[in-house]
Amino acid sequence: MRNLLVIVLFVLSLSFSLKSSAQQSYDVVCIGFYNLENLFDTIYNPELRLNEEFTPEADKKWGSKRYHEKLNHMARVIAQVGTDVTPDGLALLGVSEIENRGVLEDLVKDPQIADRNYKIVHYDSPDRRGVDVGLLYQEKYFKPVNSTSVRLTMPEDTGFRTRDQLVVSGLLNGEMIHVVVNHWPSRSGGEKRSRPKRNAAGKLSRMIVDSLLTLDSNAKIMVMGDLNDDPVNPSVKEFLRASGSRKSLQDGDLYNPMYDLYRAGIGSLAYRDTWNLFDQIILSQGLLSEDRTQFSFYKAVVFNKNFLLQKEGSFAGYPFRTFVGDSYMGGYSDHFPVYVLLIRASK
């Protein structure tokens, strides 16, 4: 990024703009997604299956000290993402693996990010593990107009429960955008066996996108989340219709800027010494315009700074996570955050 800032046209900032060599200045917004890896409070909720694990009495010994350390670590990461190009960092952040609205309220109060005054969009999901998705936003940059929670069901499996898909529409510095926050079904039980669930999730996201494009064929849409699949898997390529090639896009197709990162061996999580890029931000063609008077896509990044890496042991080089089983590691998350930069010519 440092080299890019020297050689390319765009020198960017949310709150101010610098003149480029062509004497055109640009504004930037940073929009990201982060799987917070089981951000649970310490209060037992008998309605949630996983909740008992995250209590002081359980094997994980999830008490106030560990909870607040987790909040501190998540805030440390959020505070740094994107600040190499914009001092205010993330204007919007989709999150997953959160227990409830309360943990987000605690998170945004952390001193490292409190001055950003993040607001919250959240709905409870029926997921059996008790985890939801949500959206944090800086009110001075984004003003929600509408939000809803869309349920994923499997007609052949009436007992199926997973995370809802969160749809938030609003004004980003005056421009309407739509954000769909996801945490698709896991690969538990095996990738092949669980594949139909993620294909169904991709189909649902596609239906949401189509409904928005029906209202506005140039709608600016961002589908983000932990998809539990890579950019090349059918749920993403076929059911969501997200392509890594801008040149080959057909009407309605989405552009996946994470595809090239994945092909370059860059991942957001590791499993059995292999990198996956499950955490993705996928864009509608309305965000690919060459008209710089409107926000358009500039760059996608995996935020994989050194402090987020495990330094020793059999998982050296992996994301530095909070737990391995019930063993407390004191890290951050088993996923790296990802983000995109959108740019617009300053007025």
CATH architecture group of domain 22-345? 4-Layer Sandwich (3.60)
Structure tokens at 168: 């938030």
pLDDT of 2: 38
Whether the pLDDT of residue 162 is over 80: the answer is yes
CB 263 within 8 A of CB 257: no
Q: What is the mean pLDDT of the chain?
A: 93
Q: Environment class of residue 144 by beta-carbon count within 10 Å: exposed (0-12), middle (13-18) or buried (19+)?
A: middle
pLDDT of 313: 87
pLDDT of 21: 42
pLDDT of 22: 56
Residues in the chain: 347
pLDDT of 50: 63
pLDDT of 184: 99
pLDDT in tens, 82-112: 999 999 999 999 999 999 999 999 999 999 9
Whether the pLDDT of residue 195 is over 80: the answer is yes
Model confidence, pTM? 0.93
pLDDT in tens, 50-72: 678 999 999 999 999 999 999 99
Whether the pLDDT of residue 14 is over 90: the answer is no
pLDDT of 49: 63
Pinpoint the alpha helices (H) of 216-239.
234
Q: Is 141 left (phi over 0), alpha (psi -120 to 50) or beta?
A: alpha
As a whole number of angstroms, the distance between CA 123 and CA 49 comes to 18
pLDDT of 24: 79
Structural domain boundaries in the chain: 22-345
Rounded to 10°, the helix 64-80/101-108 angle is 60
